[in-house]
Structure 1
Amino acid sequence: MKRKGWIFALILLVSIGMVTACSESTEGDPDSQTEGGDRTEIEFWTMQLSPDFDDYMNGVIEDFEAQHEDINIKWVDVPWGDMEQKILTAVASDSAPDLANLNPQFASKLAELDALVNMDEAVDPAIRDLYFEGVWKSNTFDGETFGIPWYLSSQVTMYNTAIFEEAGLDPEAPPTTFEELKEVSRIVKENTGKYAYFPPLDASHLLEALVMKGVELTNEEGTEAAFNTPEGVEAFRFFVDLYENDYIPREVLTESHGKAIDLYQAGQLAILATGPQFLNTVQENAPDIYEVTESSVQITGPTNKKNISAMNLVVPKQSEHQEEAVKFALFITNAENQVAFDKIVPILPSIETALDDPFFNELPEDPTPTDRARLISASQLRDSEVLIPPMRNYEDLRTAMNEALQAAMLGEMTVEEAVESAEQEWNAILGQQ
């Protein structure tokens, strides 16, 4: 599998809605999947980590089994696009794995069915406190915690210094706020004919931007929409103005985050706001662009809020070996194992003390763009949070917001009408709960 595939799998942390499909799963090392003697076998599903991370995963499994001679780990790797349907089918047929790697938004669908173990009860409070508090809370639904945080991604602003210079901008002063980004978008388009910014409107990106801009999405109880406010109208107007002035590509209405990566690699986009993982893709596919890439802090709004994406580990209640599954989940997510994983791919740990490792604080000699992005990403992790918590009927809510904004961008509604339309849709959806 090409490197680009696993990078996409990891960054969809995040964020983010998974395609529903069915297919065969890929299993890890056969030696680690054969039940031996009286060992308890734990079936562990991950999303698209094989074959690129076979050595790491099998190494962790071997270390755990050496310390727990009564437990055997059967590792099953599932293509990321198949996981949603596969685990839903498994839960429905009473054949769920003992442990699964999911993102918070999808795991919350299983939590809504009361299908997952409550980690607040299963994990000792002293161990629970090792994880970033905000990340632990991102796995909370109806007051119960349904997952253990695993790896994280904190978005950075990667930018093409050559385009900045061509546009007459200071390559050492990238935008850090949405207002600065709007001005940079104007300057780049007028002076180079290229675009500075591609705001992806898929997944959670739009909702995250609204929160950064100070927009409350719902009331405290989560029963009514709360974004039909001056802040909500101005947030919509930000995107509409960019579109109407041709400061962002027309494709934002039809294409996803992947299009932004394509444009950046082609040298037609000045800024790529995403996780450092994608620098590996740029390095492989467009080394000349990689060499002129620098990184800066995440672009945000007046709230100064910064977003992180998270992946977690959940234990279905169907498991007959819940205690052993939790034990392995805590082992693979401990500080030592997370740092080892982070040194293979540019992701971040969910254990706070892991950030004390020099790997996240010191640049090597002759640092690469990836090295610099890693340190920036790690430096803002303690001040970041999962901005969109698990929500009932999340996909319907996300779609309603996106469709309303797109109607305003196309001139089918005024900004005020679009916000009001989204409010009505949200209230109808939230009223179903």
Structure 2
Amino acid sequence: MNRRHFWKRSWRLGIFAVLGLCLSWLMSCSPSQPPQASGNGADGNAEIEFWTMQLQPQFTDYFNELIAKFEQENPGITVKWVDVPWGDMQSKILTAVSAGTAPDVVNLNPDFAAQLAGRNAWLMLDDKVPAEVRDQYLPKIWEASMLDGQTFGLPWYLTTSVAIYNAQLLEQAGVAQPPTTYEELAAVAKQVRDRTGKYAFFATLVPTDSAEVLQSFTQMGATLVDEDGNAAFNTPEGRAVFQYWTDLYQQGLLPREVLTQGHRRGIELFQAGETAVLSTGPQFLKTVETNAPAIAEVSATAPQISGSTGKKSVAVMNLVVPKGTDQPDAAVAFALYVTNNENQLAFAKAANVLPSTRDALNDAFFTAGAEGGAPIDKARAVSATQMESAEVLLPQIKDVKELQKIVYDNLQAAMLGEKTVDQAVTDAATEWDAR
């Protein structure tokens, strides 16, 4: 084992040893049954604590008004809002749940929330949410907050990436239309590199960053895990995905930084005119307009690049209720209030994201720019249209981030020529199954 892999493996094992210890403590401290509460969706005189991820100060007025309205409609319930920096949320909620001091409603993403759902941390909601209320949410998005057939969270706001492309750079490379599939993207990558000396795109292989490459397995027809959670990518389809990314890197068609830098670097390269296609959320068009107005002027939006399956990915933010709450009815009532049609629509408009309820998504705000609108309006319309079929492409398992680390580590080894593709696939599957 070379030095690079030794340190990466040592770091990974250390982090997961600490995480495992904390989660074991969490599981042993969690009550076997949720506390009982009085009332029909309100617990009488109750104070609930609500944590969000880095939404202040931009949305301070929105949440203050929402909370005030909820409290007015639910006399006796008060809401204490705490906004936590994005990078601190996982450690803070893990510590709080383990110590029995968790808030009553928490804004997380399903990937991390599923890790704790597997350790009995959250209140299961199937008996708390009537069927007619559940039906208001997009069904594939609802499934993102399920584990082993049980619902542990409520869908909130969504983002789905689109392809923002530099039309001028593609024209210089002789490319008439932006790529729509990974197969087309590989051909465009070679053409752009050969004719301009620049790159077609950036896709990070940093294990702790974007899951775009991991999602590409599903888009290209490979299965990541089977029904029992065992590796299912040691197949011709899985090896083909490993080979795809390895070939692009070894042929010099990906920037060297894909192994060491995250999605932020991809944005920087696009803004500098060094890449032709940026796979990101439509809201980043505003960032490009601010930081690189000349690039923004020659940029346009196309649907998300996919594979042979045509599947489109979506990122979900959800709300969970810790199982240890002493105000379960009030907490669920507030979570449902935050995520109802009216409030989702208002927040989606304010934050330039997508709602997870059917009626809110059908609002004209999300489709008005489809033809002839401003770039940001067209990008919003493209992303909203994708929600008809978009789904969470990563398996709903509690250790999905560990799966990403294992796949990325071995894929990096193949890209660097330290392993053959076959060996990298075999090692990744073996490591996952023996974790």
Pair 1:209-2:216 in alignment: yes
User: Which residue in the other structure is 2:156 paired with?
Assistant: 150
User: Which residue in the other structure is 1:6 paired with?
Assistant: none
Aligned mate of 1:193, from 192, 197, 201: 197
Pair 1:175-2:182 in alignment: no
Residues in 2 aligned to 1:116 and 1:279: alpha-carbon distance in whole angstroms: 36
Q: Deviation of residue 368 (structure 1)?
A: 2.1
Aligned CA distance change for structure 1 residues 118 and 373 (closer, same or farther; 3 Å): same
User: Which residue in the other structure is 2:283 paired with?
Assistant: 277
Matches within 5 A, 1:74-223: 74-170=80-176, 173-201=177-205, 202-222=209-229
Q: Deviation of residue 301 (structure 1)?
A: 0.7
User: Which residue in the other structure is 2:15 paired with?
Assistant: none
TM-score (norm 2): 0.87
Structure 1: gaps spanning 5 or more residues: 1-19, 21-37
Name the SS of the counterpart of 2:314 in structure 1: strand
Q: Deviation of residue 47 (structure 1)?
A: 0.2
Q: How far does the alpha carbon of each residue in 1:150-182 deviate from its partner, in whole angstroms, 9 at most, with x for none? A: 000111111011111221222xx2110000000
Identity of aligned residues (%): 49
- RMSD across aligned C-alpha pairs, in angstroms? 1.5
Residues in 2 aligned to 1:143 and 1:233: alpha-carbon distance in whole angstroms: 30
Residues in 1 aligned to 2:421 and 2:266: alpha-carbon distance in whole angstroms: 25
Q: Deviation of residue 189 (structure 1)?
A: 0.7
User: Which residue in the other structure is 2:301 paired with?
Assistant: 295
Residues in 2 aligned to 1:382 and 1:130: alpha-carbon distance in whole angstroms: 14
Asked whether the 8 Å contact 1:203–1:398 carries over to 2, the reply is no
Q: Deviation of residue 366 (structure 1)?
A: 6.6
Asked whether the 8 Å contact 1:48–1:79 carries over to 2, the reply is yes
Asked whether the 8 Å contact 2:140–2:391 carries over to 1, the reply is yes
Matches within 5 A, 1:197-346: 197-201=201-205, 202-222=209-229, 224-346=230-352
What code does the residue aligned with 2:220 have? K
Name the SS of the counterpart of 2:331 in structure 1: helix
Asked whether the 8 Å contact 1:244–1:409 carries over to 2, the reply is yes
User: Which residue in the other structure is 1:45 paired with?
Assistant: 51
Q: How far does the alpha carbon of each residue in 1:281-337 deviate from its partner, in whole angstroms, 9 at most, with x for none? A: 212211221222111111111111110000000000111111111111111111111
Q: How far does the alpha carbon of each residue in 1:92-143 deviate from its partner, in whole angstroms, 9 at most, with x for none? A: 1111001000000111122122111111111111101111111111111122
Q: How many residues align?
A: 390
Aligned CA distance change for structure 1 residues 229 and 364 (closer, same or farther; 3 Å): closer
Residues in 2 aligned to 1:210 and 1:366: alpha-carbon distance in whole angstroms: 34
Q: How far does the alpha carbon of each residue in 1:383-406 deviate from its partner, in whole angstroms, 9 at most, with x for none? A: 010011332333322111001111
Asked whether the 8 Å contact 2:111–2:398 carries over to 1, the reply is no
Structure 2: gaps spanning 5 or more residues: 1-18, 20-43
Q: Deviation of residue 277 (structure 1)?
A: 2.1
User: Which residue in the other structure is 1:16 paired with?
Assistant: none
